Structure 1
Amino acid sequence: MRLDYPDPDVIRVEDTYYMVSTTMHFMPGCEILRSYDLRNWEHLAYVYDKLDSTPARRLEGEENIYGKGMWAASLRYHKGIYYVCFAANDTHKTYLYTAGQPEGPWERHYIEGFFHDCSLLFDDDGRKYIVYGNREIWLTQLKEDLSGPLEGGLHRLLVEDRDNPNLGYEGSHFYKIKGKYYLFLIHSRPDRWRRTEACFAADSLESEFRGGDVLDDDCGLPDRGVAQGPVVDTPDGKWYAIQFQDRGAVGRIPFLIPVEWRDEYPVFGDDGKIPEIFPVESTRPGYVYAPLVGSDDFKGALKTYWEFNHEPDRTLIRHDRETGIWQVRTDRVCRCLLQAKNMLTQRMLWPGCAAEVTVDGSELKEGDYAGLCALQACFGFVGLVRRNGGLFLVVRTVEPGESEKMPSEENPEQEWAAVPVGEKPVHLKLEADFSSGKDVCAFCYKEESHGRRWQKIGPTHQLIFGLDHFCGCRFGLVVYSTKEAGGSAGFREFIYRESDL
């Protein structure tokens, strides 16, 4: 997919495959994708527009939920109902959404307790279970309505990996296949950091689960192993796994892997190695998929590949669909762009991509910024600022560091250029290059008058994948105030393309 879709879960219903992935702090969240061949995917729906609307999710003050929010959802279909279950690491709640069709509408419920990286199982006898945990993987029987653990129901430790000096077992995917129970887990090799996938099997929920690693492959990227995800069958009985790999700053990218069954145990790829090329079959040959990222002229409804950085405040947004203007007004002063409300974002594409946008900063107030960013804790920004009454084009960055809150006093935001421009709109471009582990971005601009060519501005900026945000780098359209609230900026003609780097 070449995009940041970590922690996938996939099901098949008749001839259609559905995928859910971690969306963390982005809103709307919990995206559902659709496919007919397991290789090509398109957007289908978001499960929610917002969750509990906490101050941190609304970016109030200095609060945020970077690296938190929803993680590793379980997607299931049972007796005509679709289920999505996940825990949110900021509220420590477990959410359960249900719908009669994957497009929604989705109805929210809760499961009492906090179930990390959970997986639901609807057993043949009508009983319902949830499997979850880190290092210790537990199975708990749920009430009939899934509202919480069943008093007196089955509750047991399935497997454990307590002494692993790196990552212990987590990322549960639990199935009953042809009468046996299978538990798929991610962990790290104990001798060094390298993601691997394990599988354990048992004849009953009360018996011992036995197994071990089934996938230990980095696909040529040293120790960036591929792991964590589901197995799924095709209508004609073939099996595949979908697991993700860390690809640096662009994020965690899913891999499709053929699976065979030998002696009632799964064999991934070619005896645990992922083949580069293998056939896949479509249940709807010739189907044309809508892109997961792309351009937007802002005429008509907002494209589905946009997500807000946190919960938006739509009272501050004016979308003129006739002229194609996306206008954002500020209502407070904030320290840096990471706390900016109503930032529109899109995933970046591996091995490289570029975005262009036109920004009108004529209504910015003193100290206001508006432009295009590479959204990470170590962000890069190119855009306009009003300073001493005039507009300047600036590049601002935060260098990669260890702090969980960026920018920090030890790692402050830096400004690399300040070019005076007029009050007319300015065209901005941000290019990202993730090939060969470069993980860099560069900035360009041109003024609307005179048809000038793109001019590079500022340095090439280093990007990283960090646990502070725990997601891949994204393009962001951002407006924020540093001195007084009430200013605004307009965006038009967003163009997404392969990188020119």
Structure 2
Amino acid sequence: MDRLIFLSLLLCLQLSGVCSKAQMTGNWGDQGNGTYVNPVLPADYSDLDAIRVGDDYYAISSTMQFSPGMVVLHSKDLINWEIAGHVVDDLTRISPQLNWDRMNSYGRGIWAGSIRYYNNKFWVYFGTPDDGFFMSSATNPAGPWEPVHHLWSVSGWDDCCSFCDDDGQLYFIATNFAVDPKNNKKYNIHLFRMTPDGKRLIMESDSIIHQSNGSEANKLYKINGLYYHYFSEVKPEGRVIMMARSKNIYGPWETRQLNHVDPKMDREPNQGGLLQAPAGKWYFLTHHGSGGWEGRPTSLLPVSWINGWPVIGKPDADTIGRMVWSGPKPISDKRKISIQSSDEFDTGKLNVQWEWNYQPRAGKWSLTARKGYLRLYAFMPVSARKQANVILRAGNTLTQRSMRTPNNTATVRIDVSHMADGQFSGLTHFSTTSYSLFGIKQENGIRTLVYDNNGKDTSGITISGESVWLRSTWGTEGISQYAFSTDGKTFKTVGNTYQLTWGSYRGDRIGIFNFNTREDNGYVDIAWFRYDYRK
């Protein structure tokens, strides 16, 4: 084996414990020649569900504590995706723990859900492990979405899906992953009927339709007159995709495994949505359940119908599928769409890729205080939580997903002329397991460039001008190098590299931060943020 390839493989395995040829090379998505390579989205778009409405495809992905919540994606060809919007604009309608003054719900918040289209509306249902289930609907998937409605206050449940039968009856399916006191078993899958408005469960209709080790990721379909219950469960080989089918929604169900997994090589594709393209072929849009530093990326797998079962991936001799890393594009579409990343802050609203870490504090950020700039007012981090990673408890942190591509360059231009003593503002990479902060800190009226790598500071360069340009670059290995400029032309690297990480089911986030450890004082103006993740 070539030494460079061997070292790349070794590094990939060390970074995430899992690997593929595509991840080694950084190749992904649309190849421009009628083919594609998985992943189609090399970033943390996890806990997926997807549907087709006419010639358009829509997907949703969980967001946990980030706001706005539950991102909605759009595609014309299942390969190239853009962000359409978000379902939840106010996380405090779910829980006060998701507000800027609490910030203690990492790994919690908005988990997996489902998106469906019926009765001339899009319907999204989702759960949180602590607060229960919520729903919203919209006529346009880009929004506005109705304020989230609390469907059921309960804890220990997840992975729900709504379903509209041919007669208009609405159903709701979800997993109770807590121990059931009646039978002392975990991961019972329950089926309920719902009221016609989809806003209340008919509790007396509760029926357990399945129980197995780790059974969750529920979806319901009706195809050719049969009910199909999609779910995943844990087997000795890893978390696999399962399907049950029946002539009656209450069973009896016939169950079959749909794919094999190798966690070290294919990263356990499981949660996702079953789709039929206009030409008749079927596909499965899925996340990879084993997370790397970029989180749990998205792949598209072909589906082969064998004896009435949708086998996912390339069928083995046992007619159970395996991971497929490339193939012909399902649909030929020349339109150029991609996940949005840059923002000039000149449209009067934040671009759709941005998500705050927790619900932002009203009045502490503005796109109108200075035209063409994002103003961030500094305030003190939440002091109730005693932990080393300060960025996890600092409000006014605006984030987006870091992409696992060969060439990533994120640059921000910041006006620091109105900072106050105790204030620190700049670029960050963070997860719940590690962080780095690179920016300007002011003390005694002096502004200094500071690089904080998990609590180890590197500083000493005094910044005297009004503006500073901060940059982070990284590649498929997830090693970031920071640099700065005082004229926007010549950049100088600072400090050691930083290894991007993941934690609490989330991949690394690139973001803009601004806080003051002394008092609520000072502000910065962000002129623009430009992020290029070209192939």
- TM category (shorter chain) comes to 0.7 to 0.9
Of the three residues 495, 515, 529, the one matched with 1:458 is: 495
Q: AA paired with 1:160?
A: Q
Alignment of 1:395-406 (within 5 A): 395-398=451-454
Alignment of 1:154-303 (within 5 A): 155-162=206-213, 168-190=214-236, 194-218=238-262, 221-222=264-265, 224-245=267-288, 246-271=290-315, 272-282=321-331, 285-289=333-337, 291-301=338-348, 302-303=350-351
CA distance in 1, matches of 2:299, 2:108: 24
CA distance in 2, matches of 1:6, 1:391: 39
How many residues align structurally?
Answer: 466
CA distance in 1, matches of 2:99, 2:153: 24
1:347 and 2:401 aligned: yes
CA distance in 2, matches of 1:28, 1:466: 20
C-alpha distance after superposition, 1:188-212 (max 9, x if no partner): 3335xx3322222222223232323
Q: Does the Cα contact within 8 Å between 2:92 and 2:99 map onto a contact in 1?
A: no
Alignment of 1:415-434 (within 5 A): 415-433=457-475
- 1:401 counterpart residue number: none
Alignment of 1:35-114 (within 5 A): 35-53=75-93, 54-60=95-101, 63-90=103-130, 92-107=131-146, 108-114=148-154
Deviation at 1:151, TM superposition (A): 4.8
Q: Does the Cα contact within 8 Å between 1:367 and 1:482 map onto a contact in 2?
A: yes
Q: AA paired with 1:482?
A: T
Alignment of 1:13-24 (within 5 A): 13-24=53-64
CA distance in 2, matches of 1:258, 1:321: 50
Q: AA paired with 2:466?
A: K
C-alpha distance after superposition, 1:327-372 (max 9, x if no partner): 1112435452222222221211112422111222222221210000
Q: AA paired with 1:149?
A: L
Q: Secondary structure at the match of 2:472?
A: strand
Q: Secondary structure at the match of 1:117?
A: strand
Q: Secondary structure at the match of 2:419?
A: coil
- 2:430 counterpart residue number: 375
- 1:11 counterpart residue number: 51
Q: Does the Cα contact within 8 Å between 1:293 and 1:347 map onto a contact in 2?
A: no
Deviation at 1:320, TM superposition (A): 4.9
Q: AA paired with 1:175?
A: Y
1:131 and 2:131 aligned: no
Q: Secondary structure at the match of 1:95?
A: strand
Q: Does the Cα contact within 8 Å between 1:23 and 1:29 map onto a contact in 2?
A: yes
- 2:372 counterpart residue number: 324
Task: Give the TM-score of the pair, scaled to structure 1.
Answer: 0.87
CA distance in 2, matches of 1:481, 1:499: 35
Gaps of 5+ in 1: 163-167, 399-412
- 2:448 counterpart residue number: 392
CA distance in 1, matches of 2:483, 2:463: 14
Task: Give the TM-score of the pair, scaled to structure 2.
Answer: 0.81
Deviation at 1:393, TM superposition (A): 0.6
- 1:311 counterpart residue number: 359
- 1:28 counterpart residue number: 68
Q: Does the Cα contact within 8 Å between 2:49 and 2:271 map onto a contact in 1?
A: no
CA distance in 1, matches of 2:330, 2:311: 20
Deviation at 1:58, TM superposition (A): 2.2
Deviation at 1:455, TM superposition (A): 1.7
Q: Does the Cα contact within 8 Å between 2:266 and 2:323 map onto a contact in 1?
A: no
C-alpha distance after superposition, 1:35-93 (max 9, x if no partner): 12111112223222113355432221x53332222111211111212211111235x13
Deviation at 1:373, TM superposition (A): 0.2
Deviation at 1:382, TM superposition (A): 0.4
CA distance in 1, matches of 2:358, 2:201: 31
Q: Does the Cα contact within 8 Å between 1:307 and 1:344 map onto a contact in 2?
A: yes
- 1:361 counterpart residue number: 416
State the Cα RMSD in Å: 2.4
Q: AA paired with 2:347?
A: G
C-alpha distance after superposition, 1:244-301 (max 9, x if no partner): 1145111111110111211111111211123333223437x32332x32322222223
Q: 1:321 to 1:282 in 2, by over 3 A?
A: farther
Q: 1:232 to 1:432 in 2, by over 3 A?
A: same
CA distance in 2, matches of 1:318, 1:126: 45
CA distance in 1, matches of 2:323, 2:456: 43
Percent identity of paired positions between Structure 1 and Structure 2? 28
C-alpha distance after superposition, 1:120-157 (max 9, x if no partner): 1111233221111132222222233333332542x322
Q: Does the Cα contact within 8 Å between 1:195 and 1:224 map onto a contact in 2?
A: no
CA distance in 2, matches of 1:211, 1:143: 29
Q: AA paired with 2:108?
A: K
Moved over 6 A (4+): none
Gaps of 5+ in 2: 1-40, 178-186, 316-320, 384-389
Q: 1:486 to 1:11 in 2, by over 3 A?
A: same
Q: 1:104 to 1:303 in 2, by over 3 A?
A: closer
CA distance in 2, matches of 1:498, 1:40: 14
Q: Secondary structure at the match of 1:96?
A: strand
- 2:35 counterpart residue number: none
CA distance in 2, matches of 1:474, 1:68: 17
CA distance in 1, matches of 2:375, 2:118: 43
